A and B are shown apart, each in its own frame.
Chain A
């Protein structure tokens, strides 16, 4: 706590848009979670032939990152983060086909779920939303997920990262068990594994051989961005 996040305006954004174009309404729309306004502005930007990657980086991310940082600092809370994420998602939905057509690849593929025996999903839902908005392709397996389901999904989707959520001290053991199952299946070096949830800690993550611990949703996303760049054994 203690930092007051500010809007990070992208350097030289004016050079990437037509003369007279202004992103500030979109920054505010994302910040305030006005998804209808966000939709309108992104559509206008597309109609004005602005590069979709520019719309994402210069138009959508500043407001989203501002709220993410505020969320981390507990200046805003779940409801505000949810409406911002929804506005972000509205904009992303419009530009995603254009990004794909321009051969912009997702940052990585992330399999996420709450471990076997645990039905809690508030935390992992928020992490999913943040990861999607940060450019990851996320496959959410929901709650009460058997280790085999994680393994099947990782194989099928050629996952880069896998994340196990758990809220209870009785269920975090399944983070350990699931990591062991990945090792038994010979997949441990193909994916980076992240863990999170109320009773977890960095010490717990180290103890069970996870690659990282997400203390909160924003830190989990930062961790994912870092880990996805680290070397892994390739999928065939």
Chain B
């Protein structure tokens, strides 16, 4: 098959049509991105809302993913030790990895650690103040502006600059349940309120639905190729809450959102992501008209990638599948190659698959494993050649 342009390759894989090779999407956190970029002499290493795709495209990404949801800002925003930083959602965030240390002490502490060694603490931002814990809070809450040019202008730029060649995805994570528990309400509160304060939960989810519907419509109007919703409802071994509760709380709200997105752009593709094992609701994604789905954590509860492909492969395209929890950070080069081979055998055969590690490549992944993965994808990800012949 003649070589396809990246955006064509990616779109065809989503439509489960024939492609020349398996399209790819690699995603990095800041530390790993800087590490790999240095090797290639690439200087633009922005992540989050300052995303610079230079490195990812160099590595073979067929798509560009830009994030603007509630997660996008906080996870990459510089937050000083001891500071609480408030986002437009009025959620307060702090920084981890620094318990009880001053900035100076932390710098000293970092020096004592091997530079890219296993014991390096990578400070992460985390939500610590949740703005909505009562009906009163909800009543007084003002939702952010879904037409904020700060969110939408960079997408226009990306489309202008890259869309001729590359497939443009915009991520609205976290979109609904996760946005409610992790950010707006607080996790333990959220799960108890499902029973204690169902009206508050419904109100928060309605507010999120309204906000993200408006935001997603604005994004769809810019002509992006795909809108991604990300909503963590899986834990390592299974779902955090009852699939039937999800069908009650989340499914109709997503159905409304998707319908509205498609009213603006009927051709926009949809992707659903959750961390963990959420295989019990895979059929619901199909019902919702989702085109592309992530997969369960490869070393979690449901490990049967071949079974999932067999059951759902003719209904929905799939992305992900290479273990980032054990294999990429701690495997040997040969094991990484074998991991890629197995993923290709299980998921890429027959098409409808985009190769990607199960999540971001984090700071603990050794460079040699990243290169082993890239090489193995070149070796095993070509249709018409082993193992895809």
Q: Any chain A CB within 8 A of the CB of B299?
A: yes
Query: Contact flags (1/0) for A111-122 with B, using CB distance below 8 Å?
Result: 000001111011
Say yes or no: is B270 at the interface (Cβ < 8 Å to chain A): no
Q: Which of B119, B301, B329 touches A174 (beta carbons < 8 Å)?
A: B119
> Which chain B residues numbered 188 to 206 have a C-beta less than 8 Å away from chain A?
188, 191-192, 194-195
Q: Which of A41-65 contact B (CB under 8 A)?
A: none
A117 touches B239 (CB 8 A): no
**Contact residues, B275-313 vs A (CB, 8 A):** 276, 297, 299-301
A169 with B324: in contact, given A82-B188, A144-B99, A215-B237 (CB under 8 Å)? yes
* Shortest beta-carbon distance from A164 to chain B in Å: 14
Interface size on B, residues (CB 8 A): 42
Interface size on A, residues (CB 8 A): 37
Q: In the complex where A119-B126, A199-B325 touch, is A77 in contact with B192 (Cβ < 8 A)?
A: no
- A199 pairs with B194, CB closer than 8 A: no
Closest B residue, CB atoms, query A219: B237
Q: Does B187 contact A (CB under 8 A)?
A: yes
Of B96, B241, B362, the residue contacting A169 (CB under 8 A) is: B362
- Closest-CB distance, A174 to chain B (whole angstroms): 7
Main secondary structure of the interface of B (DSSP, over half): loop
Are A173 and B99 within 8 A (Cβ)? no
Secondary structure type dominating chain A contacts: loop
Partner of B240, one of A77, A144, A169: A77
User: A127 CA to B297 CA in the complex, in Å?
Assistant: 22
Decide if A83 is an interface residue (CB 8 Å cutoff).
Answer: yes
- Contact yes or no, A117 B100, CB < 8 A: no
Inter-chain contacts of A125 with B (CB < 8 A): 187-188
CB of B72, distance to nearest CB on chain A (Å): 18
Q: Is B78 an interface residue (CB 8 A)?
A: no
Q: Are B96 and A118 in contact (CB under 8 A)?
A: yes
**A198 interfacial contact with B, CB 8 Å:** yes
Q: A79-B192, A117-B123, A198-B325 are in contact. Are A169 and B364 (CB under 8 A)?
A: yes
**Inter-subunit contact B191/A78 (CB<8 Å):** yes
Find the A residue at minimum CB distance from B121: A117
Q: Which of B120, B187, B237, B300 contacts A74 (CB 8 A)?
A: B237
The 7 A-B pairs with the shortest beta carbon distances in the complex, nearest first, are A119-B126, A199-B325, A117-B97, A117-B121, A198-B236, A119-B96, A77-B241
A interface list, Cβ under 8 A from B: 33, 74, 76-80, 82-83, 86, 116-119, 121-123, 125, 143-146, 149, 168-171, 173-174, 176-177, 198-199, 201, 204, 215-216
> Can you pick out 23 interface pairs between chain A and chain B where the beta carbons lie within 8 Å of each other?
A74-B237, A77-B241, A79-B192, A79-B241, A82-B191, A86-B192, A117-B97, A118-B96, A119-B124, A122-B187, A122-B188, A122-B240, A143-B96, A144-B97, A144-B99, A149-B99, A169-B326, A169-B362, A170-B363, A173-B118, A176-B119, A198-B236, A198-B297
